[in-house]
DNA sequence: TGCAACATGACACATGACCGGCAAATGAAT
DNA sequence: ATTCATTTGCCGGTCATGTGTCATGTTGCA
């Protein structure tokens, strides 16, 4: 069940039937997801590896490369959750799908409601696992509120905007490591970096101001001249 | 398989073919359900709205009003799970059914075993959702009248409309938690959320007005900018 | 050191998305 | 036809975000 909008959940739907694809898109967008469509296996694989998605929904029977092959390629590198769909209801396919690492398998026909329920279940599980694996937070450190897109220190929240949150979260995950502008643009702002784009600088500026505003002393956003930005821990 | 714990699950089967209807009744009663038969669309709709069923099983091709129409009428008020049956196996019909809010679609011919499996699955899912959304302990607070679709405070009722009631009930069940617009649209208005849809805002506006009208002070509907709405406890 | 080229910080403003309220249109029920 | 619930369109305001400009700081080179 989707309660609040996360930093925006992105779903890649790989489905060659235009009618079904369109319905998937409409329904999932109505449920608050950012949906990208692809109509064949090769393009799907390219998108899945080049951009960042929270979940991939894929037909098995596809032109180009079939869903199981794409899944296999994906699993060799990525851990992104994958839901397979297929009209081939046979146990064979189902088992093949799961053994390749699929997270769920929907035999056609299925209802769009059913689809939503499964997707939400998987996203919930993934979020839970991530939280479990996350390094423990010390009490006097920043607290990240994934749902609310905000961070807080000892109860006072910084009032970050979603973009600011995504930037800070990236920096936080790569503590003490310089991240390039192109990388930050791609991962946090979801677009390419152009030479005179000053958006990221604005976000950095705001993040600095807001972190100072709540009196955070644990780390500082430092600029690595000509390279990018880095969140540096302070002693 | 049905639990030993009652209450008995009631199913309404709307099917004009007497032979199939009889088979459905026999089989489902054998599985422990209380089955009511109806042979045309109008009567089916009347029964579905006047009595209370846990699931409705309905043919699409019916004398009187066809299954899709009945479903549409039903969905404007009820959330009862509906399973459609049809000899028309086309994608078109299937998708039409789902987009009207059907919970499942069985292309004829189907086995009675298959039917049982699907019914079980749906009932399980609905039970699960109910549990998820179990209402919180109501103190000496608002009194929810599920049947009348209204809430009251110390005897004075707010005069909510059905939609307003469903929205408020959802917010109530998730007290102090921001609910996204897509979620509220999906759950309370039973459709997807599109960008320039103002209906929910209107309902929220009315709910605020009516709650204030009966002098309710226990909680307030707050807007979480860019996220959705939240019912926040006060005091 | 002095200078040019460029990256960055800071500010103001433009754009578009989101929200509240009103009024009118649509739809369903009687 | 009338009434009520619900949806849609519009206006004005606010917020998130991107863009343009200028000031400041850094780099590299003479």
* Contact in structure between A105 and A98 (CB atoms under 8 Å): yes
Interface of A with B (CB under 8 A): 1-5, 19-20, 23, 26-27, 29-32, 109, 111-114, 116-117, 147-149, 162
pLDDT of amino acid B71: 82
pLDDT of amino acid B85: 87
Query: Is A157 a member of any domain?
Result: yes
Residues B20 and B76 in one domain: yes
pLDDT of amino acid B152: 87
Size of interface A-B (CB pairs under 8 A): 76
Query: Is B136 a member of any domain?
Result: no
DSSP element (H, E) containing A199: helix A199-213
Query: Which of A108, A130, A152 is the endpoint of a domain?
Result: A130
Query: Is B187 a member of any domain?
Result: yes
pLDDT of amino acid B46: 86
Cα separations in angstroms, B31 against A61, A206, B81, B121? 37, 63, 18, 14
- Chain A positions in Cβ-Cβ contact with residue B95 (cut-off 8 Å): 19-20, 23
Q: Which nucleotide is nearest to B161 (CA to C1')?
A: D5
pLDDT of amino acid A91: 66
Task: Please tell me whether any atom of strand C lies within 7 Å of the Cβ of A45.
Answer: no
Average pLDDT value for residue range B99-113: 77
Query: Which of B109, B130, B151 is the endpoint of a domain?
Result: B130
pLDDT of amino acid B69: 80
- Chain B positions in Cβ-Cβ contact with residue A147 (cut-off 8 Å): 178
Task: Please tell me whether any atom of strand C lies within 7 Å of the Cβ of B226.
Answer: yes
Residue of higher predicted confidence among B76 and B11: B11
Where does chain B have alpha helices with state H? 18-30, 41-50, 67-75, 91-99, 112-132, 162-173, 181-184, 199-213
**Domain harbouring B61, CATH code:** 3.40.50.2300
Give dist(CA A191, CA B32) in Å, integer: 57
Best B71, B82, B91 residue to mutate vs chain A (most A CBs within 10 Å): B91
Q: Give chain A's count of helices (H) and strands (E).
A: 8, 11
Span CA (A215) to C1' (D23), Å:
28
* Domain total of chain B: 2
**Domain harbouring A205, CATH code:** 1.10.10.10
- Chain A positions in Cβ-Cβ contact with residue B192 (cut-off 8 Å): 26-27, 29-31
pLDDT of amino acid A52: 86
Give dist(CA B106, CA B88) in Å, integer: 10
pLDDT of amino acid A2: 46
Residues A124 and A156 in one domain: no
Q: Is B50 helix (H, G, I), strand (E, B) or coil?
A: helix
Residues B21 and B103 in one domain: yes
Query: Is B1 a member of any domain?
Result: no
Query: Is A137 a member of any domain?
Result: no
Question: Containing domain of residue A148, as a range?
Answer: 142-233
- Chain B positions in Cβ-Cβ contact with residue A5 (cut-off 8 Å): 180, 182, 226-228
* Mean pLDDT score of chain B: 84
In DSSP terms, A184 is beta-bridged to: none
Structure confidence at residue B96 as a pLDDT band (50, 70, 90): low
Q: Compute the nearest-CA separation of A234 from chain B (Å).
A: 33
Interface of B with A (CB under 8 A): 91, 94-95, 98-99, 101-105, 107, 125, 129, 132, 174, 177-183, 185-186, 191-194, 224, 226-228
Q: Compute the nearest-CA separation of A54 from chain B (Å).
A: 18
**Least confident interval from B62-71, B127-136, B187-196:** B127-136
Q: Residue B18 pLDDT > 80, yes or no?
A: yes
Residues B155 and B210 in one domain: yes
Query: Is B18 a member of any domain?
Result: yes
Give dist(CA A113, CA A30) in Å, integer: 12
pLDDT of amino acid B64: 72
In DSSP terms, A13 is beta-bridged to: A37, A57
Which residues of chain A are modeled with pLDDT < 50?
1-4
Average pLDDT value for residue range B122-149: 72
Pairing between β-strand A228-233 and β-strand A179-180 as defined by DSSP bridges: antiparallel
Pairing between β-strand B104-107 and β-strand B228-233 as defined by DSSP bridges: unpaired
Query: Which of B69, B99, B130 is the endpoint of a domain?
Result: B130
Q: Residue B45 pLDDT > 90, yes or no?
A: no
Span CA (B147) to C1' (C29), Å:
18
Span CA (A209) to C1' (D23), Å:
19
Lookup result for tokens 């009207």:
B100
Residue A3: closest C-alpha in chain B: B179
Residues A159 and A192 in one domain: yes
pLDDT tens figures, B164-218: 999 999 999 889 999 999 999 988 998 889 999 999 999 999 999 999 999 999 9
The CA-to-CA distance between both ends of chain B, in Å, stands at 47
pLDDT of amino acid A223: 96
Residues B48 and B125 in one domain: yes
pLDDT of amino acid A6: 62
**Closest to A6 in 3D by CA, of B228, B176, B172:** B228
Lookup result for tokens 């075993």:
B113
Give dist(CA B26, CA B33) in Å, integer: 10
Q: Residue B222 pLDDT > 90, yes or no?
A: yes
Residues A88 and A37 in one domain: yes
Query: Is B162 a member of any domain?
Result: yes
Pairing between β-strand A10-14 and β-strand A55-59 as defined by DSSP bridges: parallel
* Contact in structure between B158 and B150 (CB atoms under 8 Å): yes
- Chain A positions in Cβ-Cβ contact with residue B178 (cut-off 8 Å): 3-4, 147-148
Residue of higher predicted confidence among B73 and B226: B226
Q: Residue B132 pLDDT > 80, yes or no?
A: no
Residues A125 and A14 in one domain: yes
Tokens of A3: 């309660």
Structure confidence at residue B2 as a pLDDT band (50, 70, 90): very low
The CA-to-CA distance between both ends of chain A, in Å, stands at 42
Q: For residue B195, what are the contacts with CB-CB under 8 A and spacing of at least 6?
A: none
pLDDT of amino acid A208: 97
Residues B24 and B125 in one domain: yes
Residues B55 and B93 in one domain: yes
Query: Is A216 a member of any domain?
Result: yes
Count the helix, strand and coil residues of chain B and give each as a percent rounded to the nearest 5. Answer: 40, 20, 40
* Contact in structure between A83 and A104 (CB atoms under 8 Å): yes
Q: Which nucleotide is nearest to A223 (CA to C1')?
A: C8
Residues B152 and B213 in one domain: yes
Residues A123 and A15 in one domain: yes
Best A8, A111, A146 residue to mutate vs chain B (most B CBs within 10 Å): A111
Give dist(CA A204, CA A221) in Å, integer: 8
Span CA (A40) to C1' (D24), Å:
51
pLDDT of amino acid B93: 63
- Chain B positions in Cβ-Cβ contact with residue A19 (cut-off 8 Å): 91, 95
Give dist(CA B79, CA B49) in Å, integer: 11
pLDDT of amino acid B235: 73
């Amino acid at each position: 069940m989707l309660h609040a909008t996360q930093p925006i959940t992105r779903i890649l739907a790989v489905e060659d039937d235009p009618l079904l694809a369109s319905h998937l898109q409409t329904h999932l967008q109505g449920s608050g997801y950012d949906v990208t469509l692809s109509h064949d296996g090769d393009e799907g694989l390219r998108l899945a590896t080049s951009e960042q998605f929270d979940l991939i929904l894929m037909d098995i029977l596809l032109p180009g490369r079939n869903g199981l092959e794409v899944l296999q390629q994906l699993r060799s590198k990525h851990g992104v959750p994958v839901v397979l769909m297929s009209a081939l209801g046979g146990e064979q396919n189902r088992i093949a799908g799961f053994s390749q690492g699929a997270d769920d398998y929907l035999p056609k026909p299925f209802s769009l409601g059913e689809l939503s329920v499964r997707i939400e279940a998987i996203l919930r599980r993934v979020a839970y696992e991530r939280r479990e694996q996350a390094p423990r937070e010390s009490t006097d450190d920043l607290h990240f509120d994934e749902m609310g897109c905000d961070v807080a220190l000892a109860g006072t929240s910084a009032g970050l905007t979603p973009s600011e949150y995504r930037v800070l979260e990236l920096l936080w995950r790569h503590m003490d490591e310089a991240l390039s502008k192109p990388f930050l643009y791609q991962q946090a702002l979801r677009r390419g970096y152009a030479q005179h784009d000053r958006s990221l600088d604005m976000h950095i500026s705001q993040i600095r101001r807001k972190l100072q505003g709540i009196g955070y002393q644990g780390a500082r956003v430092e600029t690595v001249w000509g390279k990018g930005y880095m969140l540096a821990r302070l002693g």
